[in-house]
Amino acid sequence: MTSTVEWFELWVDASAGDGWIYVLILRGSSDGSLELIEPQKGGERVDTFGNHEDAVHWLSEDEYELVEGRPPGITAQPAGTM
């Protein structure tokens, strides 16, 4: 049986000090699995977790923050100006 993605969370680390914002996607599947994906590397799987609490702990330890709306300090840029 193939599992399907049921939900996802976007996590960012903007504290690196090099001007980059690092993005990871935590996604939960219908079979109960949780995968941490790095979109900058073509969707490479970073890790898997047995529960949400373990995933959040891993992300928090590495100073990632859950995105809720627009993070402070990030302003919209008109398309094509970046």
Per-residue pLDDT tens digits for 56-69: 999 999 999 999 87
Task: Determine, yes or no, domain membership for 76.
Answer: no
Residue 25 lies in a domain: yes
CA angle 19, 71, 42 (to 5 degrees): 60
In a domain, 34, yes or no: yes
Rounded distance, CA 25 to CA 28, Å? 10
53, containing H or E segment: helix 52-61
14: pLDDT confidence band, cut at 50, 70 and 90? confident
Identity at 63, one-letter amino acid code: E
How many domains are there within the chain? 1
Q: List the domain range (segments joined by +) for residue 13.
A: 5-66
**Distance between CA atoms of 28 and 9, rounded to whole angstroms?**
9
Model pTM?
Answer: 0.76
